[in-house]
């Protein structure tokens, strides 16, 4: 039985209007089903429900607008199905375009910030350690918990906006301190420093984690202490697309894992796994569905590309031009930073098309007719074969750049052997 506070009962009775009443019913009913004893106040929300999958989600959010809904906490928006800055780059049909736009307009009307990004943590939405929040979108959730140390469950679409309208979420799972302790230790000592210095190792490590532990909390031991945020982002995104990972720790790196013992809360691990180079290689290979050969298109930016990642991409290109369509997905804040710094001109001159507000696996962007897409994102690799008519080849950023220039898969295998 879920106990509601007097404040929450007042919301249900319509104190803040009919939309908040509907939203608290949804939050409370979900809490009941999950067996949560109570709700927890949240200080921010990130809403994934603004992506068009069909008309039902549009009707839901327009109902909330009709009922005069207004978010109760600062709320950012995940990607929509349209690139509002370069609308011609999305080839959705007229009905989908119209409904996707209605949906985006309705979420803004509820008071959500039009960030349109799966990386809200790159545009200043960074709750503090221990803060209870209600985020949606699997990579954003993994980042929020693991890298920021804030507390959120993997909220499904519609629960996210319901939490935003009420400032409440079901109290269970990763809001509870004890459930945030690691139960699995992943040893990486048998892996080379060379491999650990390779960006592409991290999405692969994430893809392995999700497939191996499903939703359990794991702590990695033996990873470099100076791990940049973009590697943690890639790790979490990989883990959250092959599994149901909402939180992972990296000993000596992430906020709840100053040491291995701290991440375990002093308990003995239920499971210890020692990673071998062969295991890593096998997972990397499993991310591809097509053999190495001709490449028809390339994509980076799931999660959305950061300024640092764009600069690395340009360094790797060293003035050369892509010979195949190359898409870099990002958010409008990063686009503005690239404009302001003058980097955008170099990116466009290299034949790289920037996609904002959305990405290539959630809406039709890739050239019609299908083929083989190459990417350095485990998440793109996971979703491309099912959401587009492309097969996929996974490689490092260096491989992606060389392959984009050559028009066929080119690999540097040194780090993986």
Partner 1 sequence: MELARGRVLVAGAAEGRVLRLAEPLSFWGGVDPRTSALTDPRGPSAGTNIAGRVLVLGSTRGSSSSSAILLELLRAGRAPAALILAEVDAILVIGVVVAREMGWPTIPVLELPLADHAALEDGMAVHVAEDGAIAAA
Q: CB-wise, 310 or 383, nearer to partner 1?
A: 383
Q: How far is the CB of 416 from partner 1 (least distance, A)?
A: 21
Beta strands in 215-264 (DSSP E): 218-221, 248-250
Residue 374, H or E segment: strand 371-375
Q: Which residue lies nearer to partner 1 by CB, 127 or 398?
A: 127
Q: Which is nearer to partner 1, 18 or 407 (CB)?
A: 18
Q: Which is nearer to partner 1, 101 or 154 (CB)?
A: 154
Residue 217 to residues 206, 269, 283: CA-CA distances in angstroms? Answer: 12, 11, 20
- Nearest approach in angstroms of CB 116 to partner 1 is 15
Per the CB < 8 A criterion, the answer to whether 42 and 161 are in contact is: no
The two three-digit tokens of residue 39, written as one number: 């709700």
Cβ closest to partner 1, residue 326 vs residue 380: 380
Question: Please, which residue, 128 or 156, has the CB nearer to partner 1?
Answer: 156
Report residue 313 as tokens. Answer: 């991409």
User: What's the closest the beta carbon of residue 117 comes to partner 1, in angstroms?
Assistant: 15
Question: What is the side-by-side strand order in the sheet with 134-135?
Answer: 75-77, 45-47, 134-135
Residue placing its CB nearer to partner 1 in the complex, 49 or 301:
49
Q: How far is the CB of 30 from partner 1 (least distance, A)?
A: 6
**Residue 352 beta carbon to partner 1: minimum distance, rounded to whole angstroms:** 25
Q: What minimum distance in Å lies between the beta carbon of 366 and partner 1?
A: 15
Axis-axis angle for helices 378-387, 229-242 (nearest 10): 40
Min CB(221)–partner 1 separation in Å: 25
Q: What is the closest distance, in whole angstroms, from the C-beta atom of residue 410 to partner 1 in the complex? A: 25
Provide the CB-side half-sphere exposure for 332 (13 A, CA): 15
The answer to whether 25 touches 4, Cβ cutoff 8 Å, is no
Which CB, 21 or 338, lies closer to partner 1? 21
What values do phi and psi take at 30, rounded to 5? -65, -45
Rounded CA gap, 282 and 212, in Å? 13
Q: How far is the CB of 216 from partner 1 (least distance, A)?
A: 12
Q: Return residues touching partner 1 (CB under 8 A).
A: 22, 25-26, 29-30, 33-35, 48-49, 51, 53-57, 59-60, 63, 136-138, 141, 153-160, 170, 173, 210, 214, 240-244, 289, 361, 382-383, 385-387
Q: What is the smallest separation between the CB atom of 240 and partner 1, expressed in angstroms?
A: 7
Residue 191 has what DSSP assignment?
A: S
Q: Quick one: 81 or 334, whose CB is closer to partner 1? A: 81
Neighbours of 386 (CB within 10 A): 8
| E strand residue ranges, 275-367 | 297-300, 326-330, 352-356
SS3 247: coil
Would you state the structure tokens that stand for residue 92, as one six-digit string? Answer: 């959705």
Pick 203 or 404: Cβ nearer partner 1: 203
Percent of the chain as helix, strand, coil, to the nearest 5? 45, 15, 40
Query: Sheet harboring 352-356: ordered strands across?
Result: 352-356, 326-330, 297-300, 371-375, 390-394
Residue 1 DSSP one-character state: -
Q: What tokens appear for 404 in the block?
A: 């984009």
């Amino acid at each position: 039985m879920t106990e509601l506070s007097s404040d929450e009962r007042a919301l249900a009775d319509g104190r803040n209007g009919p939309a908040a009443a509907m939203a608290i019913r949804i939050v409370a009913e979900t809490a009941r089903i999950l067996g949560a004893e109570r709700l927890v106040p949240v200080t921010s929300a990130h809403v994934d429900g603004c992506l068009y999958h069909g008309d039902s989600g549009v009707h839901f959010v327009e109902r909330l607008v009709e009922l005069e809904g207004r978010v109760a906490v600062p709320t950012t928006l995940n990607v929509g199905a349209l690139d509002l800055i370069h609308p011609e780059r999305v080839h959705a049909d007229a009905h989908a375009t119209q409904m996707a736009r209605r949906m985006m307009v309705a979420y803004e009307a509820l008071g959500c910030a039009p960030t349109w990004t799966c990386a809200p943590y790159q545009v200043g939405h960074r709750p503090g350690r221990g803060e209870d929040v209600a985020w949606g979108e699997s990579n954003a959730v993994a980042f929020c918990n693991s890298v920021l140390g804030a507390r959120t469950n993997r909220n499904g679409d519609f629960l996210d906006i319901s939490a935003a309208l009420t400032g409440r979420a079901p109290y269970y799972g990763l809001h509870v301190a004890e459930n945030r302790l690691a139960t699995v230790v992943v040893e990486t000592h048998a892996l080379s420093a060379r491999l650990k210095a390779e960006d592409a190792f991290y999405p692969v490590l994430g893809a392995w984690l999700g497939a191996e532990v499903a939703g359990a909390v794991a702590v990695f031991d033996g990873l470099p202490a100076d791990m940049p945020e973009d590697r943690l982002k890639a790790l979490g995104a990989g883990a959250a697309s092959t599994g149901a990972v909402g939180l992972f720790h990296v000993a000596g790196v992430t906020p709840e894992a100053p040491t291995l013992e701290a991440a375990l809360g002093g308990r003995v691990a239920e499971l210890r796994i020692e990673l071998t180079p062969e295991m890593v290689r096998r997972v990397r290979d499993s991310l591809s569905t097509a053999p190495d050969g001709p490449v028809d298109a390339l994509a980076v930016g799931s999660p959305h590309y950061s300024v640092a990642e764009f600069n690395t991409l340009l360094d790797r290109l060293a003035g050369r031009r892509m010979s195949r369509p190359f898409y870099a997905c990002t958010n409008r804040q990063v686009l503005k930073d690239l404009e302001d710094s003058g980097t955008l001109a170099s990116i466009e001159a290299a034949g790289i098309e920037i996609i904002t507000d959305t990405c290539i696996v959630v809406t039709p962007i890739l050239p019609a007719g299908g083929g083989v897409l190459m990417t350095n994102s485990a998440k793109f690799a996971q979703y491309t074969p099912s959401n587009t008519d492309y097969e996929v080849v996974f490689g490092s950023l260096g491989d992606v750049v060389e392959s984009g220039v050559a028009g066929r898969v080119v690999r540097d295998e040194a780090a993986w052997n």
